[in-house]
Structure 1
Amino acid sequence: MTAGTLRHVADLATPALLVDLDAFEANLADMAAALPGPRLRPHVKAHKTTALAARQAALGHRGFTCATVREVEGMVAAGLGEDLLLANEVLDASRLGPLVEAGARITVAVDSEQTLAAAVAGGVREVLVDVNVGLPRCGIAPERAGWLAERARASGVEVRGVMGYEGHLMMVPDPADRARRTEECMALLLAAHADVGGDVVSGGGTGTYAMNTWVTEVQAGSYALMDTAYTAAGLPFRQALTVLGTVVSATAPAGDAPGWAVADVGLKALGMDHGNPAVPGASVWFCSDEHLTFGGGSPPSVGDRVHVLPAHVDPTIALHERMHLVRGDEVLDTWEVDLRGW
């Protein structure tokens, strides 16, 4: 235990992140079987927890994807800096150079002369050319990827290859349509790779991990803990993460008026960009700053505990300082969410 002497879920202050250990370990094992070793480059933005990343590394995934400089720093400090990809463009890479000098392998995504210059100035020695494959976010046009690779090599850095994220397809409900559109996106990435060169073709995510056979490595992250949005998309992984709440108010049905309950899990404890969370056996009405109002099912009493399933795992975890690994009602361990912040 890393947080006092808590041994039971009933002892936890709420809201609290719970990780069902059996579901979590099954998710890791299933993904390791599907994408062994370097075929998976787990994305730590999904959980922001080095103790969890260490579990992934123990299964053979030694390279990791990061979203922030802070995540890179934390992974290096935790001894997990063997092969880190910062898969976001940055204009200040000055904190990365000292990590490289100390022996960490850090690759940065670039999609412009400016981001390339920032990488070079920061002391980064390896880059991937980030290619726009259809998601209107970062990435250079595929036909210009070779030009940027030439500029990078002329600047003295190694170009390891390309990356392209088909993030707009992760939750397309029809798997056949998702697969067809993924192939179209990857055709753009492979065309760019032919011009860029290098050994790495990086992309994909939890939503396309099984169908994206064109990349050399998949950047999946949410699979480890899961959320209701990915579950609704038909992914086979188990819901391991819940937010434990306490019912702080309950209103009994009166005549034709339904009853409802209020738990202490609100907007400040949940990532809401994918919609409302879920409460098993009930209907979530709405979320407020500190409250979740739900109805239906067996009316709870004040003081009852409720498990809230987030719709988006990544921002939910970033709102909490720690997660508790549980089996049933027993708290087996507590991990700090130590990669939070910037």
Structure 2
Amino acid sequence: MHVNELATPALVIDADAFDRNLATMASHHPGDRLRPHVKAHKCTALAAAQQAVGHSTFTCATPLEVVGMGRAGVGVDLLLANETVDAGRLRAMAELDVMVTVAVDSAETIRAAADNGIGSCLIDVNVGLPRCGVAPERAGSLADDARAAGLEVRGVMGYEGHLMMVPERGDRLAQVEASMALLRQAHADVGGDIVSAGGTGTFDLHGNTGVNEVQAGSYALMDTHYGQQGLPFEQALFVVGTVISVSDGWAVTDVGLKALGMDHGNPSIVDGDVWFCSDEHLTYAPHTSVSVGDRATVIPGHVDPTMAMHEAAWLVRDDEVIDRWPIDLRGW
């Protein structure tokens, strides 16, 4: 099948760019130095490709991602880098035939994990992002509580997500080092083998931070948000649309809000300037003449929610469709 035969909007992955992205990251963080974050793609077939280049530990954002990865047999060590007190979901993770570790930051999350069969945890530490995570000075006592409840405390994690888009690299590095000093402080009190942090925007800034595994995800596919950072990864994810209307000065394609993650702003479009998006439409000013029925290639602003809006991604090489990958970890 040719890419032009796909029904649109169609989520498309450039196979060659994707392969190069995986190789670039694997050369920088081989093996379990990287714990790829599947929230970025929600696709076990894509995770299997990450495993094929040497990564066998994975990060998940939802229990469904953990369960889906476990049942698919992808990964030998799965981390839920998120808090949950849902008994049914915790039991479903505990019943998997694979190591499952959960993040905890409170007595309640510890008790829920221990009561529902989870065997190990990481202490989630607040390193500056006002989201989940215990204050660094409380991490040691929380680890004591977790061990008393019967959990193995494997170490600590913290996410410096508020620093991913600091524009100047030197400034970003300085702020990452200050943030990770909080994580090291916590780890000194908690113990364990794992110090987990990082993301695509800071993947190469942890050489002197004490972090021994990086939770990057967007690097595999990329988006316009991370594309501003000058990272050594290529845009591999696109949404292909069809031009459905042409007027004097603008055109409309069928890639609207329901096909794109928009929290990072408008997408971009190849050979055009985006004006705005609405539910089922993207209005843009084309750089060259277009006609109704032509294809338009849209670059999403944020990869994670864009992937979650589609049932499948089409793997493409030289405009030929070579595979269909279900987005089988979407939803909750």
TM-score, length of structure 1 as denominator length: 0.95
User: Greater CA deviation, 213-222 or 28-37?
Assistant: 213-222
8 A Cα contact 1:65 1:86, kept in partner = yes
8 A Cα contact 1:261 1:299, kept in partner = no
What is the 5 A alignment of 1:137-216?
A: 137-213=131-207, 214=209, 215-216=211-212
8 A Cα contact 1:173 1:234, kept in partner = no
8 A Cα contact 2:253 2:282, kept in partner = yes
Give the count of matched residue pairs: 330
Q: Note if 1:285 corresponds to 2:275.
A: yes
Deviations 1:229-256 (A, max 9, x none): 101022110000000000000002xxxx
Alignment match, 1:327: 317
Alpha-carbon separation, structure 2, partners of 1:165 and 1:25: 26
Alpha-carbon separation, structure 1, partners of 2:294 and 2:92: 50
Q: Note if 1:276 corresponds to 2:266.
A: yes
Q: Note if 1:23 corresponds to 2:13.
A: no
8 A Cα contact 2:70 2:96, kept in partner = no
8 A Cα contact 2:93 2:118, kept in partner = no
Alpha-carbon separation, structure 2, partners of 1:201 and 1:244: 40
Aligned to 1:48, what secondary structure does the other structure show? coil
Q: Note if 1:121 corresponds to 2:110.
A: no
User: What fraction of aligned residue pairs are identical, expressed as a percent?
Assistant: 65
Letter in 2 for 1:313: V
Q: 1:209 to 1:336 in 2, by over 3 A?
A: same
Q: Which runs of 4+ in 1 moved over 6 A?
A: none
Alignment match, 2:61: 67
Q: Note if 1:77 corresponds to 2:74.
A: no
Q: 1:282 to 1:34 in 2, by over 3 A?
A: same
Alpha-carbon separation, structure 2, partners of 1:277 and 1:98: 37
Alignment match, 2:40: 46
Choose from 2, 25, 31 the match for 1:37: 31
Letter in 2 for 1:244: V
Deviations 1:172-216 (A, max 9, x none): 111111111000000000000000000000000000000122211
Stretches of structure 1 that go unaligned for 5 or more consecutive residues are 1-6, 253-258
Aligned to 1:95, what secondary structure does the other structure show? helix
8 A Cα contact 1:70 1:339, kept in partner = yes
Alpha-carbon separation, structure 1, partners of 2:78 and 2:87: 14
Residue 97 of structure 1: CA displacement? 3.2
Stretches of structure 2 that go unaligned for 5 or more consecutive residues are none
Deviations 1:262-294 (A, max 9, x none): 000000000000000001221100000000000
Alignment match, 1:256: none
Query: What RMSD in Å do the two structures reach over aligned CA positions?
Result: 1.0
Alpha-carbon separation, structure 2, partners of 1:44 and 1:93: 23
Letter in 2 for 1:216: N
Choose from 269, 272, 287 the match for 1:297: 287
TM-score, length of structure 2 as denominator length: 0.98
Alignment match, 2:237: 241
